[in-house]
Structure 1
Amino acid sequence: MTSPVTNSVLGMLSIDRTASKDIYLQIVDQIANAIQRGMLREGSKLPGSRSMSGQLCVHRQTIVAAFRELEAQGWIHISPNRGVFVLSNRSTTVAGTDTITGELAEMGYSARAGFSFKKSNILDNPWSHVNSEFALDDGIPDIRLTQINQLSTFYSANLKRKSNRKKLDRYTNEGSEYFKEQLSNYLHQSRGLRISEQNILVTRSTEMSLYIISKVMLSPQDVVVVGSLSYFATNMIFQESGARMKTVLVDEHGLNTDSIRELCRQEKVRMVYVTSHHHYPTTVALSAQRRVELLALAQEYGFAIVEDDYDYEFRYDQQPILPMASADSHGMVIYVGSFGKTLAPGFRTGFTVAPKDLIIEMRKYLSIIDRQGDIAMELALGEMIAEGEIDRYARKSLKIYEQRRTHLANLLKSKLSEHLQFEPPRGGLAIWTLWKPGINLSQLASRCEKNGLHIPRNMLYQHKNMSGMRIGFGRMDTNEMTMCVDKIQSVLAQL
């Protein structure tokens, strides 16, 4: 059976019946040229003579003659009762064909653009390829805990439902009204947000929400305030918009509001970004007093607060503190998050909660980067909320993550206490560790890589005043955590 690629290439063959060159030689030249360019790969099966004669509207014997000539030149092999196969994409040329260099034949599609374009150092990917047996992360849920079969049942059922077909057969940036209704109820019950469907924009991820916010809210040279240590992806998004990034201290009570007030006195602040529940990367929560102060500062100086819902679902020792957005009565807070983080990545979706007029403007940008949305997924997620599946699964997985947090804390205390210090987090899926001076974390990561443990560079925070590392426990079971810590311990003994 010929491949779709082979058929598409041969479909481009053309016959010039007014040319002086014989038709079979025109076919020979074009097929040989396609082989030289790598468009027909070694081992590819060509259509039979009957099929090609019908396709090109020529006599079958013309195709047979072309095949014989191609075989004589060494381009193809004719196997009786099996078919005609490409031999190789040689770098030599055939009379009458374009000259194709051996370099192009080997390279195939060009590795470099033939024109200039903008390159961004800001958006360089901080994640690196993992070839190691084990890998640390900065706090990712474990897909092995996800009830894939049950999740896929909801998704499949919504695809098959006749009443949903019209919803799937159209482009829309409005999203599923059913899902937005269920999500607004869910956010009201779990986070105290008194909102309606008109206050919600559904996106693919938190990062997409932040990107759209930056497009609507920021102009070049606008001042955006973040923590002195902050989420790298968010920083990249804001910097890409041309904003000037200003950092303020993060202590055991979260973002320092006194520093923000002082900055506001010096220049116009456009936006403050905060992960109020579990600050990234240090995991501390923004205290109640500072939440009140930050809201008051936003009203006084007119800046927007972008409150990230990061890790809100993962709280172990008490109920989560309600977000600032729940107490915002002046429209100063834009609340962003990722719904369903306890589910598999393919079942999650992002959301933005904001005043209606801002949502309307953000939807314009969403329509040009995600025109079709994902209605089927939204319908499935809405049904999971309505049936209580989201809450049931979250409660079940939370117990497992709490056990893993305790296990990693015990490992770090018993095996690495002479090298680092930490406080077990009250929530989230990672532990923030502060390492003793003199330990080069980049060197540690490099040595661990050779020992079968990958430590991504975006987890390392080291300068002259601090050495910190964020170590996730969500994706590893107790045995995997033990082996990873043992590898770190072994490397430290050799430094």
Structure 2
Amino acid sequence: MNSPVSIPYKSFIQFDRYANQPIFLQIAQQLIQAIARGQLPSGTKLLGTRQLSELLDVHRNTISAVYEDLCAQGWVEVIPNKGTFISSELPLFSGSSSTNFQYPKETGYAFQKSILLDNPYEKINCELSFNDGSPDIRLTQIDDLSRIYSANLKRKINRKKMGYYNHDGSEYLKEQLTQYLQLSRGLAIGTENLLITRSVEMSLYIIAEIILEPMDTVVVADLGYFSANMIFQKAGNKIKTIPVDADGLDTKALADLCAQEPIRMVYVTPQQHYPTTVSLSAQRRLELLQLAKTYGFIIVEDDYDYDFHYEKQPLLPLASNDQAGMVIYVGSFGKSLAPGFRTGFIVAPENIMYEMRKHLGIIDRQGDILMEQALGELIEEGVVDRHLKKSLKEYKFRRDNLADLLEQHFKGLIRFQVPKGGLALWLTWQQPINLYQLSRKCQELNLFLPKNLLYQTPSVCGTRIGFGNLSPNEMEASIKILQQALWKLNA
């Protein structure tokens, strides 16, 4: 720690000018206690003798004597031309037990714990890594992003805006994003129908807070997006699962369930279903909208990976054909950009949007006016559209390359369909294997295969593998390691 100016010395240095003990010894003991309590960690630079003497209103020679005493005992070390620092190797402290302070490892009170929110994400340092379908930051237009953000930071008009943030979001970004969604998604909306959030997960949390009551029934896909499921379960809802086949969510099974009990909400990812990558067919989209109108349940449509399509124009969202006001449309914008330039959004009728704005004002009142201004300019200047068109060619190549490598190294062992969009492939293993052991074997070979990509149940043995973040060489090396790990597992 190089800067000593923020250390609250007066809070832990207190001495009595009229005591029999010399002042320098009193100050030295107070500093030793502060070091022992962890208030002054090893490597901390202390104030110079002149500065500390002025701060404590004592003679400079007194502080010099303090530092000499501490240095003699091994508590501090003096580095020429740099200053006085807390020693990296501290002596044993023989003070009373009350001053041998350690921050508590556990709370002194009880609180409610939730296993529902246990996240399967892991962090393991391997040279290569699969993920669930993230873009490659190396393809990002960093120059454009930094230019626009830096320009916004320097503008005087934006300095005024930074003093106050409307938690409803930047009006400029809302205007630009509204036009973008109108053109790219066919959504006949205005800015009053749009809410800017930090992420899809924040959007789902706000929706759950507003429209769900404890013990409401929420229908999700089997298999489905675990983060969304955790949000709904944490709200105390009953979760019912509906099968997914080659045409997406099984609407006949949903209709049967609706006839048996009231359904409050159905969560779907119709464009690129997570994790299996299938699209909800046009016929089932119409059936889902009709079921919502008939039985009165809310459709929460997550446009997961909508921007990443390779074969032809994707089907328009359910929300673009919703005339009954039953669909809440959520998504993320800027997934093809650097992580810091992404944001979430909600599209819904104006009356419920009013409630959503109130909830957003509680959990994210500060917002990020500079980032939202920059995102708006990226849309208006066409940077996002140009970058997406350029990167789609590369991602299509990577998708096809991964499909070829899987055919070459795992023919007869796995089954998969090349998706029309998205950044991941869904693999089903033809012979039952222990996917968690396979993951450990990959880790031994320097390939990280996260647990959240593994789906193992009595009826499913599947793996979701992203291709967006891997160059051709990285992809080939990763697939070869996966093959070696499988050999080791079967040996």
If the length of structure 1 is used for normalisation, what is the TM-score?
0.94
Letter of the 2:55 counterpart: Q
Using the TM superposition, name which of 331-340 and 480-489 deviates more.
Answer: 480-489
Change in 2 beyond 3 A, CA 1:453/1:167: same
Pair 1:168 & 2:169 matched: no
Change in 2 beyond 3 A, CA 1:399/1:73: closer
| Residue 170 of structure 1, CA deviation | 0.5
Change in 2 beyond 3 A, CA 1:241/1:5: farther
Sequence identity, in percent?
53
The residue that corresponds to 2:3 in the other structure is: 3
| Residue 85 of structure 1, CA deviation | 4.0
Alignment match of 1:362 (pick from 352, 356, 376): 356
Using the TM superposition, name which of 32-41 and 334-343 deviates more.
Answer: 32-41
Letter of the 1:60 counterpart: R
Counterparts of residues 232-243 of structure 1 (less than 5 Å): 232-243=226-237
Pair 1:269 & 2:263 matched: yes
The residue that corresponds to 1:40 in the other structure is: 40
| Residue 406 of structure 1, CA deviation | 0.5
* Per-residue Cα deviation, 1:89-137 (whole angstroms, up to 9, x for no partner): 333324xx66444xx5xxx543333332222211112111121111111
The residue that corresponds to 1:485 in the other structure is: 479
Counterparts of residues 257-336 of structure 1 (less than 5 Å): 257-336=251-330
Q: Distance in 1 between matches of 2:41 and 2:452?
A: 41
Contact 1:15 1:56 (8 Å CA) reproduced: no
The residue that corresponds to 1:197 in the other structure is: 191
Q: Distance in 2 between matches of 1:264 and 1:142?
A: 42
Counterparts of residues 67-146 of structure 1 (less than 5 Å): 67-77=67-77, 83-87=83-87, 88-94=89-95, 99-101=98-100, 104=101, 109-146=103-140
Q: Distance in 1 between matches of 2:83 and 2:212?
A: 62
| Helix, strand or coil at the partner of 1:319 | coil
Pair 1:435 & 2:429 matched: yes
Letter of the 2:39 counterpart: M
| Helix, strand or coil at the partner of 1:4 | coil
Pair 1:380 & 2:378 matched: no
Change in 2 beyond 3 A, CA 1:57/1:272: same
Q: Distance in 1 between matches of 2:454 and 2:112?
A: 29
| Residue 264 of structure 1, CA deviation | 1.1
Number of aligned positions between the proteins:
488
Letter of the 2:23 counterpart: I
* Per-residue Cα deviation, 1:156-198 (whole angstroms, up to 9, x for no partner): 1122222323222103211111111111111011111000000
* Per-residue Cα deviation, 1:212-247 (whole angstroms, up to 9, x for no partner): 111111111110000110011111111111111100
Change in 2 beyond 3 A, CA 1:233/1:90: same
| Residue 80 of structure 1, CA deviation | 7.6
Letter of the 2:111 counterpart: F
Contact 2:74 2:91 (8 Å CA) reproduced: no
Contact 1:130 1:454 (8 Å CA) reproduced: yes
Contact 1:6 1:40 (8 Å CA) reproduced: no
Change in 2 beyond 3 A, CA 1:200/1:30: same
Q: Distance in 2 between matches of 1:98 and 1:20?
A: 24
Aligned alpha-carbon RMSD (Å): 2.0
Q: Distance in 1 between matches of 2:405 and 2:353?
A: 46
Contact 1:6 1:46 (8 Å CA) reproduced: no
Pair 1:341 & 2:335 matched: yes
Change in 2 beyond 3 A, CA 1:43/1:207: closer
Change in 2 beyond 3 A, CA 1:308/1:28: same
| Helix, strand or coil at the partner of 2:108 | coil
Q: Distance in 2 between matches of 1:155 and 1:463?
A: 46
Q: Distance in 2 between matches of 1:299 and 1:432?
A: 32
Q: Distance in 2 between matches of 1:372 and 1:80?
A: 45
Q: Distance in 1 between matches of 2:13 and 2:219?
A: 60
Change in 2 beyond 3 A, CA 1:427/1:43: closer
Change in 2 beyond 3 A, CA 1:300/1:18: farther
The residue that corresponds to 2:172 in the other structure is: 178
Change in 2 beyond 3 A, CA 1:468/1:170: same
Contact 2:148 2:377 (8 Å CA) reproduced: yes
| Residue 52 of structure 1, CA deviation | 2.0
Pair 1:16 & 2:10 matched: no
The residue that corresponds to 1:30 in the other structure is: 30
Q: Distance in 2 between matches of 1:140 and 1:78?
A: 49
Letter of the 1:183 counterpart: L
Contact 2:10 2:56 (8 Å CA) reproduced: no
Contact 2:168 2:360 (8 Å CA) reproduced: no
Letter of the 2:182 counterpart: H
Change in 2 beyond 3 A, CA 1:433/1:28: same
Q: Distance in 2 between matches of 1:162 and 1:79?
A: 44
Q: Distance in 2 between matches of 1:165 and 1:376?
A: 9
